[in-house]
Amino acid sequence: MGKGNEHPTGFLSRLAGNQAGNVLGIAAAAMIPLAGMIGGGLDISRGYLSKTRLQQACDAGVLAGRKLMGTGGAVTTEVTAEVRKYVKFNYPNNYLGSTLQDANIVPTLGSNDQIQLTVSTTVPTVVMGLFGKQNIAVTATCSGRNDYSNIDIVLVLDTTGSMACKPELTAEECSDWINDNNRGGKKLTVDGKVVTYVDEDKTGGTNISRMQALRTALANLQTQMATIESQFNMTEQGKRKRVRWAVVPFSQMVNAGFSKGSAGTTLYARQPTWFNATGTYRAYSCGRYSCSYPSTTVTHDSNWMTNTWDGCVEEQSTSNSITSTSSTIPSTAYDMLPDTVPSSTATRWTVADPDRVGSAQYACPRAMLEMQQLTATNFNNYFSFNNGFVANGGTYLDVGLLWAARLLSRTGNWSSENPTLYNTYPVNRYVIFMTDGLMDTGNTGYGAYAQETTWRRVAADGTKDTSNANHTARWQLTCAAIKNMASTKIYTISFGAGSPLSQDMIDCSSGAKDEYAFEADDASDLNDVFRDIGENIGSLRLSQ
């Protein structure tokens, strides 16, 4: 007999040891966690999309509600309805299968009149429901504040002769147009004083000049600010914010003497000791072989000051050591120190006397307007042609900003007009600086520093090129000083074909091109730029 099998193997044991078909079984077993992973990724993506959309809807809702609330300081039923309308518009029902209920959109009032909102919903899952996760909770939190603090705006506006041209002309074309048409030297009587101007361009009776484009753009800016001011006025008197204006027209001089404050009196009437009524002037006289510059010291009596003086001034004592490489201001450059108290001959402004300087070019712009609230009528009347807002003179880009710095200084001569808070709210200040040309001081014209060729107060060599370079350095130093003032921003505008947006204009501003520095080629562009600036000044902001 043969030897038998002592340990026979059963069927189940053989099956357990059989490895054939293992991959199929493992794959089948892995499908369950794999489906969970893929489904989880899909549902998480849906949740992320819902979260993003809900946040956008939340932001839109609080901004709309805050705008409607104005200065009322209360989340009324109307405000709540506005918030809900914008939230639900931006997060429509059944978005990814979720819905928003009015009960989940309840805005509240936070500190500093902010509207706060937290919105929640649930997004049904597609795959994760198989594993017991039926919904994903989504929440968005937002708040919107109104940046309508008190608003002070200083308009520093170029009113040089080229502003009489239409915007499309280059600097050379504009000069030729003025000369060929004999448009300079026109006379206008304003408040008993003769004002010289360049006649503004008109076509078919329609004024198409840069000056007129500026008037229109400014009127529209005032309308924007008036909308904000009307909201301010909805609050009780002791809690109201305010919008104030100051205006500094400039050419080769600034008219500070007849500048008016909120009470309507001139600066000279209020502060006569800030001005030197006695001045030394030089005429320019050339004979056959040589030129001479005879000096005359004149003391102007009260009759001259009242009936003849036009209000323009020569600048305080300065230093011609300020050049393009200067980073500091000498202590003797009183004109560059906006807090200088006029208390001596050197620190006062000397009255301009064009009758004592021979044939030197002269122009005196419209008198400054110091910081004050203005009605639409008073605002627009200030810029009217018949009231002396006219074009004339050369381009000193620095002198207008010097006076803006003085008007804004919180420790200077106008410190009482520059509180950090008004009715417990902060005061934000803005300078809008507009020019239609490049620095062009010349050296023989009678300007804020007299005739550069003879007095050499800014340029040691008395030349035009040095004068332009040094005035540009002064301009940039003044821009920096203003930007260093608390709560103060500068917007710059280059207007017209003769004034491309230069790097100096960008550097003078508080930021980048098309954010704080703008180029406007024509009247429509200028209006758009002022509108954009107005929107930036009076804008809503998301807090979070």
Cβ atoms of 198 and 160 within 8 Å: the answer is: no
Q: Where is the domain boundary, 110, 131, 146? A: 146
Residue where a domain stops, chosen among 105, 130, 146: 146
The reply to whether 120 and 244 lie within a common domain is no
163 and 140 share a domain?
no
User: Do the domain assignments include residue 212?
Assistant: yes
pLDDT at 348: 98
Residue 4 located in a structural domain: no
Q: Would you say residue 334 lies in a domain?
A: no
Of all residues in the chain, what percent carry a pLDDT higher than 70?
A: 89
Say if residue 126 is in the same domain as residue 183: no
Does residue 247 form part of some domain? yes
The mean pLDDT value for 303-308 works out to 96
Q: What is the mean pLDDT of residues 77-88?
A: 95
Number of domains in the chain: 2
From 122, 146, 170, give the residue that closes a domain.
Answer: 146
> Do 128 and 154 sit in the same domain of this protein?
no
Answer whether residue 329 is part of any domain: no
Query: For 168-196, b where at least 16 C-beta lie within 10 A, e where not — what string?
Result: ebebeebeebbeeeebbebeeebeeeebb
In the beta sheet, which residues pair with residue 188?
A: 195
Are 163 and 288 contained in the same domain? yes
pLDDT in tens, 159-202: 999 999 999 999 999 999 999 999 999 999 999 999 999 999 99
Q: For 114, left (φ over 0), alpha (ψ -120 to 50), or beta?
A: beta
pLDDT at position 1 is: 45
Shared-domain flag, residues 187 and 134: no
Q: Which of the four pLDDT bands, split at 50, 70 and 90, describes residue 285? A: confident
Q: How confident is the model at residue 121 (pLDDT cuts 50, 70, 90)?
A: very high
20 in a domain, yes or no? no
Question: Given this model, what pLDDT does residue 304 score?
Answer: 97
CA pair distance 517, 497, nearest whole angstrom: 16
pLDDT, tens digit, 9 for 90 and up, residues 476-534: 999 999 999 999 999 999 999 989 999 999 999 999 999 999 999 999 999 999 999 99
Q: Are residues 128 and 184 in the same domain?
A: no
Residues 140 and 164 in one domain: no
Q: Which helix (H) or strand (E) holds 130?
A: none
Please tell me whether residues 103 and 155 are part of one structural domain.
no
Judge whether 234 lies within some domain: yes
Do 108 and 57 share a domain, yes or no?
Answer: yes
Instruction: Confirm whether 474 is domain-assigned.
Output: no
**Residue 419 or residue 129, greater confidence:** 419
For residue 441 the two structure tokens come to 């001081």
Residue span of the structural domain in which 430 resides: 150-311+340-438+486-542
pLDDT at 30: 47
DSSP 104: G
